[in-house]
Chains A and B, each alone.
Chain A
Amino acid sequence: MQHTKDKYGETGGSLIVKEEMESARHFMETALRLGASQARISLSKSVLDSFSVLNGELDKVTHAADRSIYMYIFAEGRYGTFSTNMTDADKAEDFVSKAIETVKMLAPDPHRRLPDPARTAKDAQTGREAGLYDEEYGNVTSEERLAAALSGALMCGEDKRKGGLTGALVPGKDRQADRNGAETGMPAGDNWKMISEECEYSDSVDDNYTIDSQGFAGRHTETSFAFCSEVTIADKDGNRFSGYWWESSPFRSGLDLKDCSVAALRKAVSQIGPKRHRSGKYSMVVDRSVSSRLVSPLFSALNAMAIQQKNSFLDGSLGQKIFPEGMTIMDLARCCGRPGSRLFDTEGVATADAPVILDGVVKEYFVNTYMASKTGFAPTIEGVSRPVLMPFIQGGSSTGTGLVSEEKEVSLQDILHRCGSGIYVCGFNGGNCNQTTGDFSYGIEGFAFKDGKITHPVREMVITGNMISLWNSLLAAGSDARACTRWQIPTLAFEGVDFSA
């Protein structure tokens, strides 16, 4: 890894080096020389190393190093996008000339242009400003990666030699709290045995350098350290159950992998003995690890492209109170040092911390330069960066009221108790949301709960409804979003959801 400091800014330890930046600039200048009126060039490089462990033994080692140049060409009122991983400067002439030739075959589109230079980011020069680069990255050795992968595995050493872990569930105990063994929290017995355990440690660095012909130059560099574990068990009847858990951090010191496999095992074991639950309307609590699944359709529907194409159930919602009083989603893109932070979007437009939905009112469509010209909407940002759904309790004085919720701490247990009984959803199995109508149907996995306590796992259930109706039945949003995720979506609770079984 090269360390340089020059007119391109402090780039010590980053992947993209001066020569490659000059190559990107050469691609852009070639495009302008060959007939482009405007151009944007995005140069990306990344390196990923991963070590996978199967049943306590090294199973797979991967080293991946990628690079690509992405070109956005505007010529004679026309527009095209082109990419190649053959990024050497001597390839530019041929590649760009073919790109220009292709663009000129397309129909003119007067709405295509680069963004207003005044809107582009000026504060992302070194790539480090977003605070997501760990200087430690370059010091990680292969031996340390292997050690990390092995250290996070349950099925190793003594356990492996015994032929894997076994355990038993204690009837009547709270499955979530069922952890009382020294190693896994599972008491020894014969109610289940571990079939397989797959763990993976990985670390990576991603470096992007974007320039345009109006003078924009932006850099974003981030590191990531991650560990995931998937455990499959069989109960005494041979029925298999699997559990998955992961941890990640932009910083090496922030990765806590020691309980990851235990969490995966507990998730698997907790599913033993599922029962069919009767169809009906139930309160639904959605675990923080999967709750973003229900937020994603909102962001898709708020994209100006979907709205312009009449393919959005939130068409006409801007400035309207569509969601319940107190429901607030902020896009905190500039919360530097947190996963998901970024200072500019793919157009180079500067991000800003801003509400997407404020007290139930839609405050922002995602409008890029093209869609702004085409629709007349004010340009904003291409898409959400780091959404944060604020804590929320339906009704009463504890309702969140905007940028800062009055309810500081809302835990899963608080929410389960508030709901009393219902279905606690811990995973989605397939399903979809019709972006045009907002109608959705998802398979779910999880648990029935009563009096705020989990009673048993449920199987083969489907939830069905409409996104706007669902969100208007929001009972609560916790304050427990996982720190490691880009989308800060906490535990959610809804009332009166249709479950089929």
Chain B
Amino acid sequence: MDLTYTDDQKAFRDEVRAFLDEKLPKRLSDKVAGGKRLTKEDYEDWHAILNAQGWLGVNWPKEHGGTGWDAVQRHIFEEETTRAHAPRIVPFGLNMLGPVLMKFGSKEQQAHYLPRILNGDDWWCQGYSEPGAGSDLASVKTTAVREGEHYIVNGQKTWTTLGQYANMIFCLVRTSKDGKPQEGISFLLIDMDTPGVTVRPIVLIDGEAEVNEVWFEDVKVPAENLVGEENKGWTYAKYLLTHERTNIAGVGFATSALANLKRIAGLEQSGGKPLIQNPFFAAKMAQVEIDLMAMATTNLRTIAAAAAGNAPGAESSMLKIKGTVIRQEINALTRQAVGPYAMPFVSEALDEGANVEPVGPGYALPATQSYFNNRKLSIYGGSNEVQRQIISKAILEL
């Protein structure tokens, strides 16, 4: 039992820190730390910086231009980048589609799409959920009918995160109604510029248009855009979800949110004293910190097991539940900490260069927005209810 990093791992951590010191633009880290709105260009800039270093394909093997890092190195990288307030890596091409293409895509698809993901030529989004298929993903209804050298796609996807920036979408589509719902699903790559594709933003309760509806009306998709075999899409979809769940615990996000909470609680005055000295509030902060300390180790245990070659199973469901509950509690405490200034909603103040002062301290609106926005954490990626179901079946065998 050794809870510390090896010398090699420490050296790696120092290398990551040095890189971030040198290459992470202050303009970007200031925006992330200040809860400001990130633009498409901000994400693209950060991707390009990482790509120049060869560090964008964090969980890609070297043969495809990735880092080839092991689970511990990936964890260290994630820990350091969140600590430094780097923008997150947009996951749809890199963490979701990339691994699927490497495992199930044709040589041509790999050669065409993988470099484009790294170079930022394509911005991918995820066409999984539908209005009637959320936690019950296998009930997708969007259809793809083969006509000669094309599929004709009709239907609707929803909760498409950052779909407004995307030029490509990977979709689960129904190619057969025979058998179990899982058996008639295929995995299709669709160019968003094809006639018949419509994107409509959905404004969430934090006032931000982060997700979209994507409509398909007689969209002609070349048959070569099918990944793997027809009607085998469910296998690929599940494979993708296990990759979606890398870093599902969100330890880095939680750690940086907790640091932000402590900073705010030190600045806010309550009854003539800093809020951080209020025993009621301090107790709640301590409680969530204690939970986070333990969860960070649960996460490391899973990572160590993965580094030793054990594929994560239902453990990721535990991490998803505990990780999201902890982050949501930190967000709730942060909202509480800002007091009456949780109320003003001066959205323009979040834009870079907008000459609008926030009402009250600048950290107040991001605190409220994060609280409302992160209610999604326990809903998306398989709701926490679905995760509990997985645990009770896979681990408890109930």
Q: Is this pair of chains taken from one and the same complex?
A: no
Tell me the B residues contacting A by CB distance below 8 Å. none
Tell me the A residues contacting B by CB distance below 8 Å. none
